[in-house]
Structure 1
Amino acid sequence: MKYAVIFGANSYEHEISIVSAVVLKKVFRADMSFVYCDSLGHFYLIPKDKMNAKTFSSKAYLKEKELFLKQGGFFEKGLFGEKKLECEMYINLVHGKDGEDGKFASLFEFFKLAYIGPRIEASVLSYNKELTKIYAQKVGVKTLPYKLLKSYDKASLAQDFDFPCIIKPARLGSSIGISVVKDKDELEYAKDVGFEFDEELLVEPFIKDIKEYNLAGCMIKDDFIFSMIEEPRKKELLDFEQKYLSFSGNNEVKEAKLDEALKAQFYEAFKKICNPLFKGALIRCDFFVIDNEVYINEINPNPGSLANYLFDDFSVVLERLARSVKNEKKVKTDFAFLHSINGSKGKL
């Protein structure tokens, strides 16, 4: 099967997406093309041997073939017409805005492209942390209590908080814009930092030394495929560098030592989150454990490098997923209603 990896786009997590694509080139044993979307929405076909940081930091990608998206796939224009990019399965590896908020899912569906990644509804619910909590509660997965700050709503800004707390942009991942607030003196600065990235901020209690665990997986038909369960190393909180050194291949990941009862809780929570909303995607769920109970922290619908480092044989898992994904059903249009109008006396 021929794959095309889509990465980059207009996102605060643009560079993380590039790193993800470079890593995927190394770990996924498959025939892949690489389609880079710059922050202006232009697409470029990047040769495999040029998939490195310098190609993008030096803007050398501008010298590569530009692609255009239309019905059926990506095309390059030449002297003798258009040439279609050979691809049977696209992989959405855009992190954050554009890739995880539903825009690329909409493009793939509209242009009838088979793809691995979250579908539109799954993207919307996992991209917004408040909607994630509402969804998790609906399917029976525990979440931490929260309050929402809105830059456009004075009443929300006047709320009282218990300290310490953690403040997060509601629609941003990769630990960007997050602050741990220990007292009221630190609150205003934390809000200023968060509002730089989003007009809505999620406020949760900060629990010192809380246990965090990551579990990735996917659905293949009606079966679940799980990765190992990881307990990521962290300092006070899991910050940007700690979170992304793991998938870039610099650290060895070890399976968390857990009893079978707690493992079962993780698997059950993952199933409730995943089925059926996240069919077609390989996702990673980040969990907390409090008093031996599992809580969802966030859903990563396009995790860094597709969380390859958590699987024993990542390539086999992704190949199996690719062969099982389905797009929306095509709606047949036969114009029967319009024909009936034209056939009546009072024609339209």
Structure 2
Amino acid sequence: MKKGIVFGGQSYEHEISIVSAITLKENTKQEFEYIFCDENRNFFLIEPKNMKATYFSKGEYKKAKSLVLKSGGFYTEGVFGKKLQSEVYINLIHGSDGEDGKIAALFEFYSINFIGPRLEISALSFNKILTKYLAENVGVLTLKWESLTKNSKNLNLPLPVILKPSRLGSSIGIAIVKDSAQLDYALDSTFEYDDLVLVEPYVEGIKEYNLAGCKIGGKIKFSIIEEPKKEKILDFEQKYLSFSGNSKVKEAIVSDEIRLKLQNAFTRIYNAGFDGALIRCDFFEKDGEIYLNEINPNPGSLAYYLFDDFENTLNALANSLPKTRKIPISYNYINSISVNK
């Protein structure tokens, strides 16, 4: 089954998405069609040989074939425009456009098969505040938290805390505040990215575990459990520049009890509406309890590095996508009105 990768988008994480697509190309044997969405939301068909970071940073992609989105897929523009071969598209746009539901809405509107979160769950999981309510609703623990806006900066949680833009991923814009003298500056910096900020306690040395997975044939397929290496926090550089050149990840050494708790928490989150997506959940472990840190609905490079059999998993997921209900339109009602007049 031919697959296309859609990447880029109007997002703070635009460049990360490019790195993800290139990394996926270099670490799989599949021949994808590459669809780039530029900052103006124009689509271009990128030749595999041009999947290099400088091709995009220098604007050379503008010479590529322009694409339009229509019923069933992407088409080249022009009188003799042709439909691309892909039967399934992978949503690999990180952040806004990709994870907030815009692309999902377009794909669903045009009846396009795609791997990625659907519209409703995208809107929930893109917002870190709403994610907390989602976790609570399915019985998954989270650390204590509160939200701040530019008009309401009164902090109730005791220091130290960590500040996160509510609608931004990839560890962009986060800050650790250990004393009150740092708070105003840290808040101003975080508000540069979002007008809604999530505040959580910063726990020194807390255990962190990452787990990815998807549903295939009605059953969750789990990746290995990763314990990410980090300094104080898992920042952008550690998250993305490291994995882009490293396809090997060692499985974390955890007890059977912790493994089952992680998988149970993941399953509860996934079953909240992520059918058709391959997601990664980042968890904390404290005193034997598992807490959701965040959901990555479109994880970097689709978290291929966490699967021993990634390509088989991807192929199986492509064949297990949720079916879209097609509503029949008959015009019986309008016809009945016309007859009675």
Paired letter, 2:260: A
2:144 alignment partner in structure 1 = 145
Larger deviation, residues 94-103 vs 159-168: 159-168
Residues 149-298 of structure 1: pairs in structure 2 closer than 5 A:
149-151=148-150, 154=151, 156-250=152-246, 252-298=248-294
Paired letter, 1:312: D
Larger deviation, residues 239-248 vs 302-311: 239-248
Paired letter, 1:323: N
For 2:49 and 2:74, how far apart are their aligned partners in 1? 20
For 1:164 and 1:265, how far apart are their aligned partners in 2? 28
Distance 1:251 1:165, change over 3 A: farther
* Counterpart contact for 1:109–1:327, Cα < 8 Å: no
CA drift at 1:294: 0.4
Distance 1:259 1:161, change over 3 A: closer
* Counterpart contact for 1:247–1:308, Cα < 8 Å: no
Aligned pair count reads 341
Structure 1 segments unaligned to the other structure (5+ residues):
none
* Counterpart contact for 1:27–1:315, Cα < 8 Å: no
The root-mean-square deviation of aligned C-alpha atoms, in Å, is: 1.2
Residues 1-348 of structure 1: pairs in structure 2 closer than 5 A:
1-78=1-78, 80-151=79-150, 154=151, 156-250=152-246, 252-345=248-341
Please report the TM-score for the alignment, with normalisation by the length of structure 2.
0.97
* Counterpart contact for 2:121–2:273, Cα < 8 Å: yes
For 2:197 and 2:14, how far apart are their aligned partners in 1? 21
For 2:117 and 2:277, how far apart are their aligned partners in 1? 5
Query: In structure 2, the residue corresponding to 1:337 is in which secondary structure?
Result: helix
Distance 1:197 1:207, change over 3 A: same
Distance 1:332 1:251, change over 3 A: closer
For 1:303 and 1:314, how far apart are their aligned partners in 2? 14
For 2:149 and 2:15, how far apart are their aligned partners in 1? 28
* Counterpart contact for 2:171–2:234, Cα < 8 Å: yes
Cα deviation 1:89-116 (Å, max 9, x = unaligned): 0000000000000000000000110000
For 2:182 and 2:247, how far apart are their aligned partners in 1? 33
Query: In structure 1, the residue corresponding to 2:285 is in which secondary structure?
Result: strand
Paired letter, 1:11: S
Query: In structure 2, the residue corresponding to 1:248 is in which secondary structure?
Result: helix
For 1:6 and 1:287, how far apart are their aligned partners in 2? 28
Paired letter, 2:61: Y
CA drift at 1:215: 0.2
* Counterpart contact for 1:96–1:127, Cα < 8 Å: yes
For 2:275 and 2:68, how far apart are their aligned partners in 1? 28
Query: In structure 2, the residue corresponding to 1:81 is in which secondary structure?
Result: coil
Query: In structure 1, the residue corresponding to 2:32 is in which secondary structure?
Result: strand
Cα deviation 1:248-291 (Å, max 9, x = unaligned): 13373111100101100001001100015100000000000011
For 2:319 and 2:282, how far apart are their aligned partners in 1? 26
For 1:329 and 1:283, how far apart are their aligned partners in 2? 23
CA drift at 1:245: 3.1
For 1:31 and 1:235, how far apart are their aligned partners in 2? 37
Please report the TM-score for the alignment, with normalisation by the length of structure 1.
0.96
For 1:85 and 1:220, how far apart are their aligned partners in 2? 26
Cα deviation 1:25-58 (Å, max 9, x = unaligned): 1223323100000010111110001101111111
Structure 2 segments unaligned to the other structure (5+ residues):
none
* Counterpart contact for 2:138–2:272, Cα < 8 Å: no
Query: In structure 1, the residue corresponding to 2:240 is in which secondary structure?
Result: helix
* Counterpart contact for 1:170–1:200, Cα < 8 Å: yes
CA drift at 1:61: 0.6
CA drift at 1:69: 1.2
For 1:28 and 1:325, how far apart are their aligned partners in 2? 21
CA drift at 1:71: 1.8
CA drift at 1:327: 4.1
CA drift at 1:295: 0.3
For 1:77 and 1:206, how far apart are their aligned partners in 2? 51
For 1:168 and 1:126, how far apart are their aligned partners in 2? 14
Query: In structure 1, the residue corresponding to 2:81 is in which secondary structure?
Result: strand
